[in-house]
Structure formats: structure tokens, C-alpha cells
Amino acid sequence: MSAHETASPHIPVMLREVLEALAPKDGGIYVDGTFGAGGYTRAILNEADCQVYAIDRDPAALSRGRAIEEEFGGRLTLVEGCFGNMEALLHERGVAAVDGVALDVGVSSMQIDEAERGFSFSSDGPLDMRMGGEGPSAADVVNSFEEKALARIISVYGEEKKARAVARAIGRARAEKEITRTGELADIVASAVGGRGASRIHPATRTFQALRIFVNDELRELARGLSGAEHLLREGGRLAVVAFHSLEDRIVKRFLAERTGASRTVSRHMPLPEAGPAPSFDLLFRGAAAASDEEAGVNPRARSAKLRAGVRTGAAAQALDLDALGMSRMPVLEGGAA
Ligand SMILES: C[S@@+](CC[C@H](N)C(=O)[O-])C[C@H]1O[C@@H](n2cnc3c(N)ncnc32)[C@H](O)[C@@H]1O
């Protein structure tokens, strides 16, 4: 039995709410930027007689999806690549404008559950963590980056208070022997941050999250994906984004605040104190929607999910400004140095 077959299936999160936000219509064109196990894609295709372009950077997800592609005979196109490049990926396929974009960011249950992918601290595997299998792995980062750079990654992307202690422990351990397994790293981190204590989460959770975000450049991908959607969506088109932790959700929130003009509003009674670009989105609803208690009860992944959604106006798309999204000081992989 292959690793793919042993992995537990991914349960789509907030599916009903995402579908309501997208409101797929006959003849429409939709982008599912995070195909995964195809939960959203299948639901969109079942909801209306529409076309879906489903993107995933993980070739394993796409090969599992071939059966769904056949099932919907020509209405589904699977696209290997990063959703940060969605505009180019759609243009290459002759699509200039779409009616909806869905993003369900992060990793899938299959990726976490397959020890060989190296995302998990609870089942030992090679320290990899690349969703797409390209570029440096988590082991490359952990074994070659200076302790100071590692501490910054773990602090910024893991929000780990003991990031320096973790980086020092990594430095000591790798001086003895290269760190190649997730189990080794989990033990090293646990030794630096202490046991679980009263916390429900494993001591290595934050460090693993940080390395995963860094290796896959997840937050910049998210920002580029939001901008790509802004460029591709036609007037009235819908954007629905599900985020799973505060770093992701903050970016989506700030992006929508920027694009709706809310970040320029002093108060509800004194809108738009200074002229700026015309809003390119209206909010579909205020704030973030959460999963129902019922869903959170059966799917632990849904407990931290936050959905935000917008409707594209007819105004021109704006240039992506990472500073405005609070991202200018985030460590980047480019060049191998953080
Ligand atoms: C949470 S799962 C999506 C699950 C999906 N909504 C479903 O119902 O099955 C996230 C998926 O998005 C992919 N992914 C994450 N970041 C990506 C990116 N920047 N570009 C393309 N795919 C990405 C992952 O490989 C993973 O398969």
C-alpha cells in the first residue's frame, strides 16, 4: 500500500460557508487555489454548471485528483503550481478573468499524516516539509542557517517565545551530528522549551510551524495569491479565504482592509479622510466567520479556521505592497539566508 493510500482523507473545512461566499453560477469560471483532496473543487462543480481551475503545488495532490478531473469531463482543469502565480497560470491557459477564487491555506491532512513528507513531529520521518518538493528542505535550513537567523524564523513564524533557546539547542545538536529526522528535531526542541506543562500543544508545534511556513514561503504566497485574485476577478467576482492561524488571518484581514478602503477610515462617521485608490473590494460580511460548533466538534482542524470574503468592485487592481500588509520584516528564503 502506498503512502497516499494510508493517509487519512482531508475533510474540507467550512465548506458550506465557502460555497455560500463564492455563490457559484452556471457558466462561471472559478479558481480553487488549494486543491488538496478536491473537497472545495468538487462542491463548486456540483453546485453549478461551471469551470474550475484547481491549483496545487503538491504533485501528489494532483495525481490523486486525476479521477475527479475525469469525473467532471472537461469542466475541471488541474494546474500544478503555486497560487501566488495564479494570474500567470490562468493566462497561460487562455483565461483572463474569473468569477470566484477560493483559498484554503496551509497543509492538508494527507501531507501531515504522511510521515515521509516530514511535516509531523508525532510520527518520525525525514525532515523535509516541502509541499512541492523543490528548493531547500527543513533539514537544509536547520543544518545550515546561522543560529541567529534560525531564532528569527522560529520567533517570527512560530511566535515562539523561547526561539533563541531553541536555535541554540539546534546549534549544539547539529555540531554533534546532522539533524535529519522530524523525531530528532522534536526532541531537541522539547529539550529547549521544556515539556508540555499545562499546555495542550506539543512543545515542538511552534518550531515546526515556523519551519514549514519558511520553507514554503507560505505568507508571501498568501499575499501574492490575494493580489493575483484581485487582478483576475471580474466585477462582482467573489474571493473566499480560509486561514488557520493568526499570522495568516492578519494578512487576509489587512489586505481586505486596504482594498475596501477601511484602513483609511477614521471612523464610521468620518470615512476616507484622504484620497486613495478606489476600493477594489467590498466586504461580503464584516470580520471573520468561524466554523459552527457542530463542525468544530467533528473536525479539530476547523476549530482555528477563519473565513473572510470580499466581492470585487469595478475599480482597478492595486499594486501589491508587502509593507502595508505588515510583511516587510519577515524572513525570506531567497538566496538561502534569512
Ligand atoms: C488545506 S489543503 C486544501 C484542502 C482542500 N480545500 C480540500 O477541500 O480538499 C491545502 C492544499 O493547498 C496546497 N497549497 C498550499 N499552499 C499552496 C500554494 N502557495 N500554492 C499552491 N498550492 C498550495 C497544499 O499542497 C495542500 O494540498
**Is residue 331 in some structural domain?**
no
Q: Where are the beta strands (DSSP E) in the chain?
A: 29-32, 51-56, 76-80, 98-104, 233-243, 281-283, 289-290, 306-312
Provide the 3-class DSSP secondary structure of residue 278: coil
Determine the pLDDT at residue 134: 87
Query: Looking at the 3D structure of the chain, how many domains does it have?
Result: 2
336 lies in some domain: no
CA 10 to ligand 1: nearest atom: 9
pLDDT score of 6: 44
**Is residue 320 in a domain?**
no
What residue owns the CA closest to ligand 1's atom 22?
56
Q: Is 166 inside any structural domain? A: yes
In a domain, 322, yes or no: no
- Do 273 and 289 lie in a common domain? yes
Q: Tell me the CA–centroid distance for residue 168 and ligand 1, in Å.
A: 33
Residue of 85, 131, 222 to test ligand 1 pocket, by largest number of atoms within 8 Å of CB: 131
CB 31 within 8 A of CB 78: no
Q: Give the structural domain span for 237.
A: 3-109+218-312
Which residue out of 8, 32, 35 has the highest number of ligand 1 atoms within 8 Å of its CB and is therefore the one to mutate? 35
Assess whether 104 and 225 both reside in one domain.
yes
Cell numbers 533557546 correspond to what residue? Answer: 165
Residue with the nearest Cα to atom 25 of ligand 1? 58
Query: Does 295 map to a domain?
Result: yes
Q: How are beta strands 76-80 and 281-283 bridged, if at all? A: unpaired
Burial of 106-126, coded b for 16+ CB within 10 Å and e otherwise, reads bbbbbbbbbbebbbbbeeebe
Q: Report CA(109)–ligand 1 centroid distance (Å).
A: 10
Based on the fold, state whether residues 82 and 47 are members of the same structural domain. yes
- What local confidence, expressed as pLDDT, does residue 182 receive? 97
CA 281 to chain centre: 21
Name all residues whose Cβ lies below 6 A of ligand 1: 10, 12, 34, 36-40, 55-58, 61, 82-84, 104-108, 131, 221
Task: Tell me whether residue 191 is in a domain.
Answer: yes
- Spans in the chain with pLDDT lower than 50: 1-6, 335-338
Beta pairing partners, 273: none
pLDDT at 336: 42
DSSP notation for 143-203:
HHS-HHHHHHHHHHHH--TTHHHHHHHHHHHHHHS---BHHHHHHHHHHHH---TT-SS-T
Q: What is the pLDDT of residue 232?
A: 98
What CATH number corresponds to the domain at position 136?
1.10.150.170
For residue 329, the CA-to-ligand 1 centroid distance in Å is: 25
Nearest CA, atom 8, ligand 1: 39
Question: Given the DSSP bridges, would you call strands 76-80 and 51-56 parallel, antiparallel or unpaired?
Answer: parallel
Regarding whether 94 and 128 lie in a shared domain, the answer is no
Give the atom of ligand 1 at the shortest distance from the alpha carbon of 222. 19
Tell me the CB-side half-sphere exposure of residue 152, using CA atoms within 13 A: 13
Residue whose CA is at the smallest distance from ligand 1 atom 2: 108
